[in-house]
Amino acid sequence: MNTQLALQDAPFKRIDGKRASARVLSEVAEQVKQLQQQGAQPGLAVVLIGEDPASQVYVRNKVLRAAEVGIYSLEHKLAADTTQADLLALIDSLNNDPQIHGILVQLPLPEGMDETRVLESINPLKDVDGFHSSNVGGLSQGRKVLTPCTPAGCMRLLHDTCGDLSGLHAVVVGRSNIVGKPMAALLLQANCSVTLVHSRSRDIERLCRDADILVAAVGRPKMIKRDWLKSGAVVIDVGINRIASDSGTRLVGDVDYEDVYDQVAAITPVPGGVGPMTIAMLMQNTLDAARMQLSKGE
């Protein structure tokens, strides 16, 4: 097989997630406007428990982006010592609120809360994170369901960069429920041959070297080096790792960007790659959820 990918209108190696996310947001804004002209208004509830500083930033950005695209949003900030019963009661009220089409509970939850129990309590039709087992199952069967935002954003970047992915060998590093597993399912749906590698895999470097597309989602700063990649691979770096620097801390991915740059056909930077796509795809999911519910008269 020709290992050099035919890249789609991609004169630059650096895959610009900010620019791609702005395109998604402007498409969503246009479609929200059309819904509004029919008298409908998509609504999103964002629930944050506790005071994790990174989560606070992500939630603030979600609410800001919602306002920009015309989605009505409500932010529910709960104290770190909120009981699980109170959180479940809030989710129940949002499940029954006809103005709310999307519900998102920011992760990670405070220690002691049962993440599975909480995520399973969200109405799957309003599950704009795509984490409910009904949506996870639907995704693995190739049904059209609400899909986790980060993997959906990675797919959008890959299609923009490579066009058709059929027949390519994709290696996903990391098997989390939020990224690794849904990413593997989406790549399979796009007709890739998929290898999912993880901390127990043997000879990870050899497996990675066979990748046409490599998606890194392990949370280990700069783990993937030049000699892990074949020449001309396309690399999507989902890692967001804060490391110490001269001026405090800085963000780096799971891939050693500078080291691999000459080896790859295209690569997402950190920051400015996958991250901005996560929130843009959340807006897309909220719009899709609203459309689904409005068409069912819910």
Binding partner of residue 198 among Mg ion, ligand LMY7XDAE, none, CB cut-off 5 to 8 Å per kind: Mg ion
Residue with smaller CB distance to Mg ion, 254 or 288: 254
C-alpha–C-alpha distance, residues 226 and 255, integer Å: 9
C-alpha–C-alpha distance, residues 265 and 232, integer Å: 4
Binding partner of residue 88 among ligand LMY7XDAE, Mg ion, none, CB cut-off 5 to 8 Å per kind: none
Residue nearest to ligand LMY7XDAE according to CB distances in the complex: 275
Q: Which residue is catalytic, options 31, 126, 127, 129? A: 129
**Three-state DSSP class for residue 286:** helix
Pairing of strands 213-216, 233-237: parallel
* Separation in Å, CA 19 to CA 3, 65, 181, 217: 27, 14, 26, 22
Alpha helices in the chain (DSSP H): 17-37, 53-69, 84-95, 115-120, 133-140, 149-162, 180-189, 204-209, 257-260, 274-295
To the question of whether residue 175 is assigned a binding role by annotation, the answer is yes
Does the active-site annotation cover 52? no
Binding partner of residue 278 among Mg ion, ligand LMY7XDAE, none, CB cut-off 5 to 8 Å per kind: ligand LMY7XDAE
Binding partner of residue 78 among ligand LMY7XDAE, Mg ion, none, CB cut-off 5 to 8 Å per kind: none
Residue with smaller CB distance to ligand LMY7XDAE, 48 or 194: 48
Does the active-site annotation cover 127? no
Q: Which residue is catalytic, options 106, 127, 288, 293? A: 106
C-alpha–C-alpha distance, residues 46 and 66, integer Å: 10
To the question of whether residue 102 is assigned a binding role by annotation, the answer is no
Does the active-site annotation cover 293? no
Q: Which residues contribute to the site for ligand LMY7XDAE (CB under 6 A)?
A: 54, 58, 104-107, 129, 149-150, 240, 251, 270-272, 275-276, 278-279
Q: Which residues contribute to the site for Mg ion (CB under 5 A)?
A: 174-175, 198
| Spatial contact of 175 and 213, defined as CB atoms under 8 Å apart | no
Enumerate the active-site residues: 62, 106, 129
